[in-house]
Amino acid sequence: MLGRLFLAAALASVLSLAACGSSSDAPASGSGAATSLTVFAAASLTESFTELGRQFESTHSGTKVTFNFGSSATLAQQITQGAPADVFAAASPATMKTVTDAGLASSPTVFVKNTLQIAVPKDNPAKVESLTDLTGPRVKVALCAEQVPCGAAAAKALDAAGLKVTPVTLEQDVKATLTKVRLGEVDAALVYRTDVIASGGEVTGIDFPEVRQAVNDYPIAALTTAPAPDLAKRFVDLVLSRQGGDVLTKAGFQAP
């Protein structure tokens, strides 16, 4: 799936290059040599960053952008253990702090905000309509583990609502949580709004008022140990640019 996406991205970049020809907005890359950029990004950024990676490749000929999507906590651990990454985009300031505390990144910038939604299967078998419905004894709920940002946000929202939910599972990242809803194995889950949108109508998202208590800031930073510091900075610039903002807003993120 991801492989096919990359193939599509590569193809698209070749096509768009061919189309641009020698016009003025031609590739900005100076070297022209094949280089690669490695971006570690929160699982919830999968769709929007894949799109931004495609755009980046089309304006930097010969550059290949590789993504490692996963729970921000796992990615932060991998980076502090020496994983060769150029850019880190986290789903929470806490996971970014792991990396800045280790001296591997400085001055991260918050580029988007994300909020939670209740995700239910399209036929909503347990008739979930509000956060309170999640406490029902027969309602199977999946949450993210509290160690990962979406789980921390879910805990905050439930606390704010004064509710105690007993989930059937605490998943290791937000995409795994969403998958359990997609397959209809759980009746509801708390995931990001962006994940509901990314599922393309396979699950239904339900807003709830307590969501304001659980807004996640997403920080991004080029890493000080980046093998390709120049490209890393340019990719961060793209994410922070209006063009980047458009892609992220379309995916359901909110401007910081």
Partner 1 sequence: MPWPLLVPALAGLAFLVLPLAGLLVRAPWGTLPQRLTEPRVLEALRLSLVTATVATALCLLLGVPLAWLLARTALPGRRLVRALVTVPLVLPPVVGGVALLLVLGRRGLVGQWLYDAFGVSLPFTTTGVVLAEAFVAMPFLVIAVEGALRAADQRYEEAAATLGASRWTVFRRVTLPMVAPGVLAGAVLCWARALGEFGATITFAGNFPGRTQTMPLAVYLALETDPDAAIVLSLALLAVSVIILAALRDRWVGTA
- Interface residue list for partner 1 (CB under 8 A): 71, 73-74, 77, 140, 142, 145, 147-148, 167-172, 176, 180, 183-186
Report d(CA 119, CA 91) in Å as an integer.
19
Shortest distance (Å) from residue 56 CB to partner 1: 28
Residue closer to partner 1 by CB (options 181, 211) is 181
Report d(CA 221, CA 19) in Å as an integer.
32
Shortest distance (Å) from residue 11 CB to partner 1: 27
Contacts of 71 (CB under 8 A, 6+ apart): 42, 43, 144, 147, 148, 149, 172, 173, 174
Residue closer to partner 1 by CB (options 22, 81) is 81
Q: Tell me the CB-side half-sphere exposure of residue 63, using CA atoms within 13 A.
A: 26
Report d(CA 71, CA 77) in Å as an integer.
10
In the block, residue with structure tokens 């918050």: 110
Report d(CA 41, CA 112) in Å as an integer.
13
Residue closer to partner 1 by CB (options 186, 251) is 186
Shortest distance (Å) from residue 22 CB to partner 1: 47
Residue closer to partner 1 by CB (options 119, 148) is 148
Residue closer to partner 1 by CB (options 65, 145) is 145
Shortest distance (Å) from residue 186 CB to partner 1: 8
168 residue type, one letter:
V
Shortest distance (Å) from residue 137 CB to partner 1: 14
